[in-house]
Chain A
Amino acid sequence: MSSELVIKDLHASIGDKEILKGVNLTVKPGTIHAIMGPNGSGKSTLSNTIMGHPSYTVTSGEVWYKGQNILELDVDQRAKLGLFLAFQYPVSIPGVTVANFLRAAVNGHRSVEGKDPRETQIPMAQFRKDIREKMAALGVDEAFARRYLNDGFSGGEKKRIEILQMSMLKPSMAIMDETDSGLDIDALKVVSQGVNTLVQANAEMGVLVITHYQRLLNYIKPDVVSVMMEGRIVREGGPELALTLEERGYDFIREEVFGNGN
C-alpha cells in the first residue's frame, strides 16, 4: 500500500470550462513538493479536486493514494485516509466552536464503520490536553477554543487555526493551498514552523505546497518543485527551480513550453 500520492492524466472542469488538462504528478512520502505557477494556471483547482470539492467535475484521470483511487471516495473518506487540505480561504461556521469542531474532526478520523462511536471517540480529558498543547505551540490564545470557527478571525488567525487542525489530525499527506496569501511575515513564520514541526515528527509525511510566490519556500523548504501552467505540470526540478522562477518570472518557461507568440 503505497503512501505516494499519484495523479494520472487528471482532467477537471468547472461547468463547461476545462481547468485541469491532464495533470501528472507524484508526491513521494517524506518529501515536500512545491507546485508553483502563475494565477489561473489551475493550482487551486488541483488541490480542490484532490480533496473532492463539489464544484469541480473530474472528466478523466485518476488520483491514487494508499492503494485507492480516491476520486471514488467521499470527501470525509479522503480525509480519513490521511489527506489534509489547508484552505486558502477557510470558511467561518457560526455557532460551532473551534473546540467542538476539532473534536468532531478528531472523532471523525477515529470513527470506524459499524462500530459504536462511543468506543472510538477520544476521551475528553485527552482531547483537552492535546488542544491546549497544540494551541500553545502555535501561539493561539486558549480563548479561541470557545469562539465560533473562523467567525470574525483575521486572515492570520484563520491560517493558524488551519495549522492547529492539521497538528491535531496529523495527516500523512498535507496540501497547503496558497497558505501564504494574506499573511504578514510574522504569521508566515509561525505557520511555516507549525508545518515543519509536523514534518519533523513524521518522517513519512508528504506535503504538497501550492504557491504563487517563492517567499513561502524560504520557510518551508521543498525537495521538489513542479511548475504548473494552463492546467498541466510543465516542469519539474529541485529547490533551485523556485529561485530561478523568482528571478526570471514564468515567461521564460511559457516560451520554452508553448513557444513564442503563443
Chain B
Amino acid sequence: MATKLPAIASLSAADVLVATEPAWLQTWRQQSLAAFAAHEMPYWRRTDLTAFAFADMQLSADLGTFKIGADAPPGVIVMPLSQAVHDNAALVQAHLGSAVSAKVSKYAALNAATWRDGWFVYVPKNLESTLPLHLIQGFGAGNTLIARNLVILERGAHLTLVEQLHGDGGPYSNVVSELILGDGATLKYTAMQTWGAAVHHVGHVVANVGNNATIEWAAINTGALHQHIEAETNLVGNGSRVDWMAATVAKDGQRLLTAPWLRHVGRSTEAHMDFKTVVKGTGYATFDGMIKIEGGSTDTITRLEEHALHLSPQARSDSIPGLKIDTNNVQKAGHASTSGEVDDEHLFYMQARGISKDEAVHMIVMGFFEPVLDRIPLESLREQVTAAIAARI
C-alpha cells in the first residue's frame, strides 16, 4: 500500500481511475477531473473556504464505513454504489450525475471524480415500501471521506429513507446525494448530519421530482465544525410537491450553513419550507436560500418560513432568503421569518407553573424543533437525536 496518499490539490487521472470499473465510468471520472481542474473556487457567501482548502486534503486509503441500521425493506434494492456500477450498470449510468453534475462546483466535480463508495437505492415501479431504510455513513481513519449516494424511485414507488452521516474522523467530508423521483413517487427523506465536532463537511443533495411526485424532506444538522450544504429540490414535474423542514443546532465554534434552492419548473407545483435554527454560545448558523419560479411554472404555491432562536448573546444566525419569479401566474407565494431570544413571556408563564428556567428553555427549544423531529421515522433514532439535541442546549 502506498504510504503517500494523493494530494487533492494535484490529482492526476492515475489517482482517480479504478481499473475494474466500466469504461463509461472511467470516462465520466476523467471528465469530472477535468471539470475539477477547470473550476474556479466557488463564491459561497458566509462560508469560510479556508476550512475546506484543497491544500490540506488528500485522498484517503480508508474509504469510510457504510452501514444499514436495519434490514432493507422487502423489494427495495440497496447496495454499495461501487457494486451497483457493475450489477445495475444501466440504471447507474442513466442517473449518475443527473441531479448533481460536475458542472455545479469545484467540490461537486471533486466528488464525481474521486468518490469510491456510497449507497445505491432502487425502488421498483409501484412498490409502496413503508418500512424505514436507515443508511449510515461514517469515517474511517482517513483524512477525507468522499462518498456518493444515488436513490432512484420508479413511477409510483414509495420509500421512507434516513441518510445519516455519523461519527468522528476526517476531518474532511464531501458527500453527494442524488434523489430521483419518478412520476407519482413519494419519498419521505430524513437527512441527518451528526458528524463529530471536528468535521468539515461539504454536501450536495439534490432531488429531481417527477409529475405528481412528492418529497417530504427533513434535514437535521447538529454535528461538524464547519458545514456547507447545497441542497436543492427541483419540482420539475407537473403537480410535484415538496414539504421541506430543517432543524439546525450550532453551538460553540460551529459554523453551519445550509443553502437550499427550490426550483418550481412544472405546472401546479407546491412547496412548503420550514427551516429552524437554534444557536448557542459562539455558534453561527446561516440560511442562504433561494426560491426560483421558472417561466413555465403556473398555479404555483410556495411558502418559506425560517425561524432562529438565540440562546446566548454571542451566538449568531444569518438569514438570506431570495425569491425570483419569472412567471405571471403564481397562486400563492409567502415568506415569514423570525429571529430572536426565547420569549420572556413564555419563560415567565412556564416558571409560574413551577418549571425551572433551564427546563423551560429546554422545553421551548424542543417544542420549536418538534415538527421536524417528529418526521424521523424510527423511534429509537428520534429518541437518540432528541437526547443529543437536548444535551447541546
Are A165 and B364 closer than 8 Å at their CB atoms?
no
Mask for B334-375, Cβ within 8 A of A = 1, else 0?
A: 000000000111111111111111010001101111110000
Q: Name B's interface SS.
A: helix
Q: Hey, which chain B residues are within 8 Å of A96, CB to CB?
A: 363-364, 366-367, 370
Given A51-B352, A75-B351, A75-B352: A95 touches B357 (CB 8 Å cut-off): no
Give the shortest distance, in Å, between B360 (CB) and chain A (any CB). Answer: 8
Candidates A79, A95, A101, A165; contact of B351 at CB < 8 Å: A79
Residue ID in chain B nearest A106 by CB atoms: B354
Mask for A84-99, Cβ within 8 A of B = 1, else 0?
A: 1101001101111000
B306-356 at interface with A (beta carbon < 8 Å)? 343-356
Residue ID in chain B nearest A55 by CB atoms: B344
Question: Roughly how many angstroms separate A108 CA and B355 CA in the complex, as a whole number?
Answer: 5
Are B345 and A91 closer than 8 Å at their CB atoms?
yes
Candidates B343, B348, B366, B369; contact of A53 at CB < 8 Å: B348
Give the shortest distance, in Å, between A172 (CB) and chain B (any CB). Answer: 13
Residue ID in chain A nearest B348 by CB atoms: A53
Are B348 and A54 closer than 8 Å at their CB atoms?
yes
Taking residues whose C-beta sits less than 8 angstroms from the other chain, chain A's interface range is 20 to 34
Candidates B344, B367, B369; contact of A54 at CB < 8 Å: B344
Are A74 and B357 closer than 8 Å at their CB atoms?
yes
Q: Hey, which chain A residues are within 8 Å of B366, CB to CB?
A: 95-96
Residue ID in chain B nearest A48 by CB atoms: B348
Residue ID in chain A nearest B373 by CB atoms: A95
Are B346 and A93 closer than 8 Å at their CB atoms?
yes
Q: Hey, which chain A residues are within 8 Å of B359, CB to CB?
A: 104, 108
Residue ID in chain B nearest A75 by CB atoms: B351
Mask for A148-182, Cβ within 8 A of B = 1, else 0?
A: 10000000000000000100010000000000000
Question: Roughly how many angstroms separate A105 CA and B346 CA in the complex, as a whole number?
Answer: 14
Residue ID in chain A nearest B349 by CB atoms: A91
A57-110 at interface with B (beta carbon < 8 Å)? 74-76, 78-80, 84-85, 87, 90-91, 93-96, 100-101, 104-105, 108-109
Q: Hey, which chain B residues are within 8 Å of A100, CB to CB?
A: 363
Give the shortest distance, in Å, between B386 (CB) and chain A (any CB). Answer: 12
Question: Roughly how many angstroms separate A80 CA and B170 CA in the complex, as a whole number?
Answer: 49
Q: Hey, which chain B residues are within 8 Å of A53, CB to CB?
A: 348
Residue ID in chain A nearest B366 by CB atoms: A95
Given A91-B345, A93-B346, A100-B363: A108 touches B353 (CB 8 Å cut-off): yes
Candidates B347, B348, B356; contact of A108 at CB < 8 Å: B356
Are B367 and A76 closer than 8 Å at their CB atoms?
no
Candidates B345, B356, B357, B367; contact of A94 at CB < 8 Å: B367
Given A76-B354, A76-B356, A108-B356: A95 touches B370 (CB 8 Å cut-off): yes
Give the shortest distance, in Å, between B328 (CB) and chain A (any CB). Answer: 35
Q: Hey, which chain A residues are within 8 Å of B356, CB to CB?
A: 76, 108, 111
Q: Hey, which chain B residues are within 8 Å of A93, CB to CB?
A: 346, 349-350, 363-364, 367
Given A55-B344, A101-B363: A79 touches B352 (CB 8 Å cut-off): yes
Question: Roughly how many angstroms separate A109 CA and B357 CA in the complex, as a whole number?
Answer: 13
Are A87 and B349 closer than 8 Å at their CB atoms?
yes
Give the shortest distance, in Å, between A83 (CB) and chain B (any CB). Answer: 8
Given A55-B344, A96-B367: A90 touches B349 (CB 8 Å cut-off): yes
Are B353 and A105 closer than 8 Å at their CB atoms?
yes
A sample of 7 more A-B contacts (CB under 8 A), given A91-B345, A94-B370, is A93-B364, A94-B367, A95-B370, A96-B363, A96-B366, A104-B350, A108-B359
Chain B residues engaging chain A, CB cutoff 8 angstroms: 343-357, 359, 363-364, 366-371
Query: Could you write out 7 A-B pairs with CB less than 8 Å apart?
Result: A54-B348, A76-B351, A78-B352, A93-B367, A104-B355, A109-B354, A111-B356
